[in-house]
Homo-oligomer: A and B are copies of this chain.
Amino acid sequence: MRFSKQRELIQDIVQRTNSHPTANWIFNKAKKEISNISLGTVYRNLSQLNKDGVINIFYDDNIARYDWNTVAHDHLKCNKCGKIIDIKLHNRELKKEVLKQYKFEAENIEITISGICENHMNFKEK
């Protein structure tokens, strides 16, 4: 076996959700399959999977969230329900603008937009 079953389980859990889970959420999910799995193992594997480029880490306020989507992308965060939605905004002009205006060589652009998602706009409340 190439990888431990713990590692494979953790990778699967992250890759099977769009919910941008926290380590603790993943831990609870994992316990259903391997009841004595430890939180340390979850963190160690998440960190390793990230180093290997298999999954992505980002921070929502001060807590880590994990994402199967390793391609650079952006997030919409609903202030009503907390849901985080993946989106892709084009930013070619942004890199150029930043280089010209601030002499800063952009490597990574992360746009986080908070507001109200479709399901929670006032006029749609049931």
- A101–B110 Cα gap in the complex (Å)? 18
**Which positions 9-51 of chain A face chain B at CB distance < 8 Å?**
none
Q: Do B89 and A113 have beta carbons less than 8 Å apart?
A: no
- A115–B25 Cα gap in the complex (Å)? 31
Residue of B nearest to A116 (CB): B105
Q: Do A108 and B113 have beta carbons less than 8 Å apart?
A: yes
Copies, count = 2
- A109–B113 Cα gap in the complex (Å)? 4
For A110, list chain B residues within 8 Å (CB): 111-114
A residues sitting closer than 8 Å to B (CB atoms) are 59, 61-64, 76, 78-79, 85, 87, 89, 94, 97-98, 101-118, 121
Known pairs A76-B102, A111-B112 / 13 extra A-B pairs, C-beta < 8 Å: A59-B59, A76-B98, A76-B106, A78-B104, A85-B102, A94-B113, A98-B113, A104-B118, A106-B115, A109-B111, A109-B113, A110-B113, A112-B112
